[in-house]
Amino acid sequence: MSKMDSSKINLDCLPGRMDEVIDKTIADKRLVGAVTKVAIDGKMVYSRAAGFTDREKNRPMREDALFRLASVSKPIVSTAALVLVGQGRLQLDDRVDRFLPEFRPRLQNGEFAALTIRHLMTHTAGLTYRFFQEENGPYQRAGVSDGMDQSGITLEENLQRIASVPLLYTPGTEWKYSIATDVLGAVIAKVTETTLSEAVHSLVTKPIGMTDTDFIAVDPDRLAIAYTNDSPEPRPILNPDKIDFLEGTAGFRLAPDRALDGTAYPSGGAGMVGSAGDFMRLLETLRKGGAPLLPETLVRELTTNQIGDLPMAYWPGRGFGLGITVLKDPIAANTPESPGTWRMGGTYGHSWFVDPKQRLSVVAFTNTALEGMSGQFTVDLCEAVYDSIKK
């Protein structure tokens, strides 16, 4: 890949545009606090902590603040699985029941499903999330945890509950964002014969120095207070709490104290805690080719659309790789990002994207659920970055 012409980047313009978006969003009381980082061609060109980590105690946001990652856990755990693939200890087309013989969900017709690691990583496994279903839907009736509450159950118990509900569709025939990465986490633990926390540490976070990232907060004093959008300003999320998401669905069940609970099961899809700087380190490792974690061939699979033309609800113009979305059509997605850009977010208020063509990585971690994941802030921030790139 040729090096980007640095003359295309207006570094005089970038900080001002970024500050403008962040300051306005905080002034409008849509965000309480945020840590935002931009790296171009491997160089950090913008890094700022803004707002409050704890508004009620008047504690300003800090650049090394820790955040509940929610779905930002997924690319970390998916990378761990691919490290095992690179080591020859796991294959994408291995059947899940080879490692988890008790996890054998059935199809709607009652037959056992043939579920593979690839199905889990591409979210084509036939699974869903409880928060996508209606109130008192099948997952709720089965007692399934989405990995963000304090359920008091083990990972194995949650897998039994998930497997007790028929799959929504035959694996590989549809795409639906789901709890599949929690199942993948159980596979990783089984292959490594350790806990998922220890496995992720040895496979991903330790080799590249992600010292802030684990399944519980490594330093509780740095953990940001969690908020959710409300009127006239965001309110602290209670423990436990319920947050409406999409009309007609059960919504999110959150327990912020889970980030401090060493007994909570390790949710591969939603349970990690970390910092913006740590996550930027992972993104840049992958963008630069994967060393020392992965061979470049596996990074290409991770970041290439793996689901063909299967429609993706909520993400028009995008496809899905091995744990992340991949931009196919910027016009359909209504975004200035280049085709091939990878992006995801997290319920507690995070967004990030990597544009390989522009050699660009952006991380925006906030402590305000929903707005920081999929609100206008994410759109405005993206546009501010690309406004600084001369076409």
pLDDT tens sequence across 367-389: 999 899 999 999 999 999 999 88
pTM: 0.96
Average pLDDT score over the chain: 95
The answer on pLDDT for 314 being more than 90 is no
Please pick, among 6, 47, 71, 202, the residue that the annotation labels catalytic.
71
The answer to whether 342 and 303 are in contact (CB under 8 A) is yes
The answer on pLDDT for 172 being more than 80 is yes
Note the maximum CA span of the chain.
Answer: 61
What pLDDT is stored for residue 5 in this prediction? Answer: 47
Measured CA to CA, the distance from residue 263 to residue 216 in angstroms comes to 10
Half-sphere exposure of 74 (CA within 13 A, CB side): 30
Name the pLDDT band for 390 (thresholds 50, 70, 90).
Answer: low
Give the N- to C-terminal CA distance of the chain in Å, as an integer.
19
Q: Which residue has the higher pLDDT, 201 or 247?
A: 201
The answer on pLDDT for 325 being more than 70 is yes
Using the structure block, give the residue that is written with the tokens 């990002």: 337
- For the stretch 106-154, pLDDT in tens is 999 999 999 999 999 999 999 999 999 999 999 999 999 999 999 999 9
What pLDDT is stored for residue 327 in this prediction? Answer: 98
Residue at 257: amino acid letter = D
Classify burial at 2, counting beta carbons within 10 Å of its beta carbon; exposed 0-12, middle 13-18, buried 19 or more. Answer: exposed
What pLDDT is stored for residue 42 in this prediction? Answer: 96
CA 145 to chain centre: 17
The answer on pLDDT for 316 being more than 60 is yes
- For the stretch 337-355, pLDDT in tens is 999 999 999 999 999 999 9
Nearest to 335 by CA among 323, 322, 326: 326
Name the pLDDT band for 4 (thresholds 50, 70, 90).
Answer: very low
Element spanning 122, H or E: helix 117-122
Torsion angle (degrees, nearest 10) of CA 372, 212, 192, 294: 70
- Is 275 a residue of the active site? no
Cα dihedral across residues 204, 260, 30, 46: positive or negative: negative
What pLDDT is stored for residue 10 in this prediction? Answer: 77
The answer on pLDDT for 80 being more than 50 is yes
Spell out a b/e string for 373-388, using b for 16 or more CB atoms within 10 Å of the CB, else e: bbbebbebbbebbbeb
